[in-house]
Amino acid sequence: MTILYLLIPLSLVLLGLAVWAFFWAVKNDQFEDLEGPAHRILFDEDKNDLPAEEREKRRQAARRQPAEKSDDGPAKR
């Protein structure tokens, strides 16, 4: 019977920690996008994980690349 004096407060403390962790996760947007990671794995290269500056650099590099290539056909030896 005396163990209840220990177990009841201990369970209330653990419950309080669980509630605090839940509200912390909600406040820090941990539940913002629940379906995104499941769909993201299907793509070869995930551009959404890159910072905006890196995405813009890759976009500009992709625009420059076709201009640098020549369409003369295979190289002649």
Of residues 33 and 8, more confidence is placed in: 8
Question: Is 28 within 8 Å of 36 (Cβ atoms)?
Answer: no
CA distance 31 to 70: 49
What letter would DSSP give residue 75? P
pLDDT (tens digit, 9 = 90+) per residue, 37-77?
777 777 766 566 678 888 888 888 888 876 555 555 555 55
Instruction: Write down the pTM of the prediction.
Output: 0.46
